[in-house]
Each structure stands twice: as structure tokens, then as C-alpha cells.
Amino acid sequence: MSTTKKTVVADYLRDALARGAYRPGERLPGEEELAEELDVSRATARLGMRILQDEGRIAIQVGRGAFVANHRPITHLAEPVAADGDSGSLESGYSSRLRQAGHGDVDERVRVSLDTMRPRVAKRLVNGPEQQSPNAGLVVIRASEHLVDGGLWQTQITYFPFSIANNTALMTPEHLAGGIAGTLRALGFHEEWNRDLVGARMPSQEEADAFGLGPGTPLLVQERVSYEGQRPLRFTETFMPANRHQLLYTGGDAPENLPVVDTDLSIFEH
């Protein structure tokens, strides 16, 4: 059962998936069939299939066989199209697209806390007035869990300088009708620009359990700092299972009712 042989099995399956020979959710050939087709042992075929499972390409179900991972991502607006929009809002961000995809139960659970500002957060938020504030070391944390059909779909954690969020609606664990952006505007703060950092990493075991992720599925992490001039107003981290989300960025004078959002375009299509 050499590494070379199990890699041959994995490469064979990857090629079949890339050609679209098997559709999402479709059952793949079993160990015995693969072993005969590729002239390897069943044990080697099993090891090759596990490589694809670890990559998140297939799902192996005990007693049923292996199936092509059914990735059906929902398009997430990585930035607001309208000037006064809020891409991070569940209601205005993408709940309608979730319902169009057949998900009926979409909800949000919010927790708010006050904590000392950790170095990585301070690196993004402490600038200008906050450096001189007597409460510069404090941060208001607004953590939001987006639930779809009872399961965790996405988490979002927003950090505010204490001088901005103290004694405001941002400190209440309630749904914000205008979203965070609208609430900041009502307080007299205007998000003039932002910078994003997007990457992917494997989830911790705790995160995998919370999201219900199988082996090989990474998390997309979108980090955003929004500014008024040179002053940071908030730092937001959004954590999204990569098989459920795809980020849409727009450029130029994009229409407010962006047509492409309502299509079934997917980065997983062949």
C-alpha cells in the first residue's frame, strides 16, 4: 500500500470531479470497483478516497459509500453596493438569498461584552483620539451568530473602541434595525472607507463541531476595519465555512440591485 498507489487513486478521483463526471451529492464508485479499475488493493483504494475526504471533496458515509461533497454556497456581499448599506447585516446582507435557496429558518443571536483590548485588536483600532482616551484599553465586543435551519451558519465579531460604543445601542444584545452602519451614522459617525483582508484556514475542533463541518472544509475569514478619515470606527471578523459561502466584491458604479446576486453562479460549478 505505497503512497504512490493511494495517490494514483486520489488523482483519478480528482480528475473525475474536475471533469464533472459526478455531480454534487452523487455516489462515487465503491472501494472494490475502484480497486479493480486501477489495479490496486481495496485497502489502497480506501486510503486514496480518504485523501479526497480530508480535502473536503467527498463525504464518506459508513455503510452507504462515498458521495461528492454537495457544495452549494450562498453569495455573500463582501461590501455594500449602496452607499448607506451594511454588508454585515444578516437581514440586508443575504437572508433573502438564503430563503431563495430553500432555507426557511434564518435567525440571529447576539452577545455583547466589555473587555480589555488585546494586542491584535489594538493594532487595528487604536489610532487618533483613542490613543489619548483614559479608556483606550477597553473594547466593546458585539458577537453575532447567524443561524440557518437551527444550525450555525456564520459568526461575526465586531470590536468597537469604548469611546464610540459606550452607553449606545451598540452595547445592547438586540437586533439593530439599521445594522451597525446605520447605528453608527445615527451616533454621528460616518464610515468613509474600509480595508479588507480575506484568507482561509482550517477550523479548530471546537469550530468544526460548532459549524458541523466534516474533514477538509476550511473557514473563510474576512477581516474589515472601517474608518472615518484616519480614525478606525470598528474592526469586524466574519467566519464562514468555505463550502457554504462565496464572497462578492463589486467595482465601479455597480447598480444597487445587483443582478448577479440572484443567479446560481457558484465557484464549485464545472
Q: Which pTM was predicted?
A: 0.80
DSSP 109: E
- Looking up cell 469604548, which residue turns up? 162
Residue with cell 460604543: 165
Q: Which residue has the cell 447605528?
A: 183
The Cβ of residue 107 has, within 10 Å, a number of other Cβ atoms equal to 14
CATH of domain 3-68: 1.10.10.10
- Domains of the chain: which residue ranges? 3-68, 74-262
Q: What CATH code would you report for 74-262?
A: 3.40.1410.10
- Rounded Cα distance between 251 and 188, Å, is 27
Q: Residue 195's Cα: distance from chain center in Å?
A: 17
Per-residue pLDDT of the chain (270 residues; tens, 9 = 90+): 445 789 999 999 999 988 889 988 899 999 999 999 999 999 999 999 998 888 888 888 888 899 998 777 888 777 765 555 565 566 555 677 777 777 778 888 999 999 999 999 999 998 755 555 666 789 999 999 999 888 999 999 999 999 999 999 999 998 888 889 999 999 999 999 999 999 999 999 999 999 988 888 899 999 999 999 999 999 999 999 998 888 888 777 777 666 655 556 777 776
Distance CA 178, CA 84 (A): 10
